[in-house]
Amino acid sequence: MSGPAFTPDEMMTVAASRALKNDDVCFVGIGAPSAACNVARLTHAPDITLIYESGTIGTAPDVLPLSIGDGELCDTAVTTVGVPEMFRYWLQGGRVTIGFLGAAQLDRFGNINTTVIGDYAHPRTRLPGGGGAPEIAGSSGEIFITMKQSLRGMVERIDFFTSFGHGEGGDHRQRLGIETKGPTLLITDLAIWRPDPQTKEFTVVSLHPGVTKDEVQATCGWTVKFADHIEETPPPTDLELTTLRDLKARTKAAHEGRPDPGKAA
């Protein structure tokens, strides 16, 4: 019997959520990382501690926040601290196990650009910027990245280094005195990638159901490396898919000012 139908975006979010553990302390980026982290909280990791950049600790939003300043985060947090304390004590103090980030541009070594597309002084596109992502990338125990694959997003060389991944590869982080692991996982809408232990180049270790190597390569701007043994990502379960869809429906209704679709009028 076949399982429930799902979209590539849903597969990406669910696969990302599975990487999180119940005892993780996770610094959450807005967008796809936030969806993945909250699906984890609502399914297999109910005790995960989610932290957002605005200073909210242990937040449990009923809908996905529009920004780090969304009141939903503070309303549902265990506590809210000042941004300086969040970064200096929690993040730089080594208390965050996972930093979960998105990217506009990404290279094979997990370096992230969220600043500009094109020349910095005369960009084709001005992006939202780094916010706290550069500090998250440097001080979290390890980094998970999630993004949709495209030739525009996954590039040979990013236009601007917003968040440092593995730099030029190999031991570049260690040579710079950065002691944290850096990017250890990339989840796209087509595959799961992990860095090679020596070169630190992202390598495909799992293809999502129905995806081929050719499809992965066609949407990636560098020559993709595939593991010798490639697994197939388990499809979303009914619980995972229902949890994600209900969360998205609540979020859409809240942002449009409509009643919660899950509650009776």
List active site positions: 53
In sequence order, what DSSP letters do the residues of 146-175 get, joined into one string? E----TTTB-SS-SS-SB-SSTTSTTHHHH
**CA distances, 70 to each of 5, 24, 67, 75, 219 (Å):** 32, 23, 5, 9, 33
Q: Which amino acid is at 108?
A: R
Q: What dihedral angle (degrees, nearest 10) is formed by the CA atoms of 248, 189, 209, 236?
A: -30
Q: How far apart are CA 38 and CA 47, in angstroms?
A: 11
- Say if CB 62 and CB 70 are below 8 A apart: no
Helix (H, G, I), strand (E, B) or coil at 100: strand
Question: Residue 82 is encoded by which pair of tokens?
Answer: 């000042």
Residue environment code for 91-126, b if the CB has 16+ CB neighbours within 10 A, otherwise e: beeebbbbbbbbbbbbbbbbbbbbbbbeeeeeeeee
- Say if CB 20 and CB 45 are below 8 A apart: yes
Q: How far apart are CA 101 and CA 80, in angstroms?
A: 21
Output the CA angle 170-175-179, nearest 5 degrees: 90
